[in-house]
Amino acid sequence: MNFRYPVFLDVSGKKCLIIGEGRELAAKAGALLDAGANVTRLNSGALRPEHLDGCFLIITNQPDNAEVFRLAEERNILCNAVDDPAHCRFSFGAVHRQGDLTIAISTNGQSPALAVRLKEQFQREIGPEYGDLLEVLTTVRAEIANRVPDFAARRELWYRLVDSDVLGLLRTGKRDAAVRVLREMIEAAAVKMMEAPNEFKDGPRD
């Protein structure tokens, strides 16, 4: 197996096919639905070639996944066969989420237990305050781009925001104070640009 290329997919509105039964498949179907996919489920052995028409992704769990994998490969459809790496074009990692922050861990199938332990470590160390931070930063992204047009200055500001006390304030439930600190830092960066415009040169935009 060679599941070494990490990627996050936008499956919103995409037809995704689940073949087979069981709790694991139910969980994967639920995750696809949460991501906005259009999910179709079939029982093992019920697949016909036309079921793959317009399909973007397939997850299958059958006694023999060879045929569905062959059909998927012919149609350039991503396929995952549960516990059957020979019939997979991608694998699932251990995932930790906090809001829009997603951390996915893969060991290329060599040690799923290690991936789980790392996920548990992230769960202990990266709490809901990180999701809150991302949410707050998202609300000011356009403002920062408008008020701090220089790329280098804007990049420096983003790192200072992430490294600031904002995260600690969110961790203790002080959201209003966190937003206030964040806006003070944005204001200071914008004022600095206005007072010393010659220090900044136009650069590539992010």
Q: What is the pLDDT of residues 133-186, one digit of tens each?
A: 999 999 999 999 999 999 999 999 999 999 999 999 999 999 999 999 999 999
How high does pLDDT run on average in the chain? 93
Helix 151-162 with 128-147: angle, nearest 10 deg: 160
Helix (H, G, I), strand (E, B) or coil at 150: coil
Over residues 61-66, the mean pLDDT reads 95
**Other beta carbons less than 10 A from residue 127's beta carbon:** 13
pLDDT digits (tens, 9 = 90+) for 18-42: 999 989 999 999 999 999 999 999 9
Distance CA 97, CA 101 (A): 6
**Residue whose C-alpha is closest to residue 156's, from 124, 130, 189:** 189
Q: So what's the pLDDT on residue 18?
A: 98
DSSP state of 60: E
Which residues, in sequence order, are CB contacts of 116 under 8 Å at separation 6+? 94
Q: So what's the pLDDT on residue 199?
A: 64
